[in-house]
Amino acid sequence: MNRLRDRYDALLLDLDGTLYRGPEVIEGAPKALAPDGVSAQRLVYVTNNAARGPGSVAHHLDELGYPATADDVVTSAQAAARMLAQRLNPGDKVLVVGTDDLVAEVKAVGLDPIRRFGTPPAAVVQGHSPTTAWPDLAEAAYALRTGALWIAANADRTLPNERGLAPGNGSMIAALSTASDREPLVAGKPYAPLMEDAIERAGTRNALVVGDRLDTDIEGANGMSLDSLLVLTGVSTLDEVITAPAAQVPTYIAATLDALNHPPLAEPAAPADIAELLRANPGRAIRVRAADSEIR
């Protein structure tokens, strides 16, 4: 068991910034994840993006060369819908700010999704949609001012795509929070609901969380006492890792996903040495958090 991946029964994989950027695949990632087209681990794709349903996400992954079915995908929309169902009564109205796929998840748990404020709904659920506009936020603000429960699928401030970093759901939450003087409950990473769903889908806690964001993927892994691998293909940078608070320090850091297929290097003597180790070993993961969970 020399390869990093061989230490785990499952890989809990982030999508945006880890496997692709917008419609474009991250070069070399499909082969790194499944060199012969399959993986020895259970692959669970865990996305904070609530814009698409599991089937659509799996289709996109398959087109890009990743082995995936709808059952392999866990979304923040599903986690948000589960949170709603746990807190509301069957048939309660929920005002949806997001895509039709988020509407479908609300329907799937026995609730009644609406788009416009009329009779005060029991809850507002908010997920990323590239078409969210002022009228959508206004309808939600009216509902929140009546005391409706507010659940957000995720709170990522930015969303990586092929052009750079675009506003994420967290940016839209900030606007609605300002308008309503409220803060939502959050289903997605780093909060527990989505991570709990991912572990249940994987069927094991012996899992490695793989992602590109310290504030979602890595903090979410640490909150569930899971090991993590930060890849430098998306949002978070090496400088941010070196200065990160303890809750956001990954177990491992690597330039790319191919580090899964090689033995990791032991943690450096000092955080500042990580950069030199990565330059000297571009295909290897560097252990950042020591076995006793202390940061060296």
Active site residue 14: yes
Terminal Cα-to-Cα distance of the chain (whole angstroms): 25
Alpha-carbon distance 99 to 115, whole Å? 11
- Active-site residue among 9, 14, 36, 292? 14
Which of 6, 9, 16, 36 is the catalytic position? 16
Beta-strand relationship, 93-97 and 112-114: parallel
Cis peptide before 67 (omega within 30 of 0): no
Token pair for 16: 């945006």
Which conformational region is residue 293 in: left (phi greater than 0), alpha (psi within -120 to 50 degrees), or beta? left
**What is the C-alpha to C-alpha distance for residues 4 and 40, in angstroms, rounded to an integer?**
12
**Phi, psi angles (nearest 5°) of residue 241:** -65, -45
Structure tokens at 130: 């590239």
Find where tokens 């000297």 sit: 280
Question: Which residue, among 241, 243, 268, has the nearest Cα to 255 in the 3D structure?
Answer: 241
What are the catalytic residues?
A: 14, 16
